[in-house]
Amino acid sequence: MLVLASSSPRRQELLKRVTAHFEIATSAVEEEGSTLAPSWHIPPLDLPSNYAIDPEAHPTLWAWRKAVDVTGQLADPEHRLVLAADTVVIAAGKTLGKPGTDGVAVEMLAELRGKKHYVATGGVLLRAAAPDEPPLQFAVVSAVWMRSYDESELLGYVATGEPLDKAGAYAVQGLGGRLVERVEGCYYNVVGLPLCEVRETLRAAGVEVGSYPAGGYCDFCPLKANQ
């Protein structure tokens, strides 16, 4: 049985597009912090040098930490696979997390305005019965260009409350999509779960997945070339 280590309604809805058979478990590792380190290698993200981030902020690392935390909660880990993901927004030289307050959200969106930034989602698929073994892992990077929105539009968006629990202070699938000029790469990666990578990772582990949609999951879908 597949277990999704996420309380995010967005990730839960996205995963349903790939497979209908999974359970939900949640982890507080992201909020509480962790120094747990894997014994296996996590490749650096494919980013320009001026956008490189600290390995400690790598989303695959935090996805793994979430997955390990969830395995410790399972009463019956045998025959369970834990899928976890983490998404970060990367401006030049730093990552932007969830703002938490209106003031920080305004600062983040002002920094992103009229510029390109990157969104990276890292994920792991971990055997719950053997959390110390190297998991299947993936990391997907998309480039996002923001519009040159004016101050009133920025403040109006922040006033909706939507940015507060979103990395980078915007939700591309929500009202925040109005601030986005274009996305280059996987759109659903920016939402929080790169569906092609997730589907191929689950297939590699023998998890039953649904049919690949004829038009792909989004315009970028790399699997289209193989259909």
List, by residue number, the catalytic residues.
86
In total, the chain counts a number of residues equal to: 227
- Stated as kind and residue range, the H or E segment containing 127 is strand 116-127
Burial of 36 (0-12, 13-18, 19+ CB in 10 A): exposed
Tokens representing 189?
């990666």
CA distances (Å), 22 to each of 3, 4, 178, in order? Answer: 5, 7, 33
Buried b (16+ CB within 10 A) or exposed e, 10-32: bbeebbebbbeebeebebebeee
Rounded to the nearest 5 percent, the helix, strand and coil shares of the chain are: 35, 20, 40
Residue 59's identity, in one-letter code, is: P
Q: Are 210 and 18 in contact (CB under 8 A)?
A: yes
**Side-chain half-sphere exposure of 101, counting CA atoms within 13 A:** 3
How far apart CA 70 and CA 128 sit, in angstroms, is 8
Tokens representing 95?
């990552």
Grouping H, G, I as helix, E, B as strand and the rest as coil, residue 137 is strand
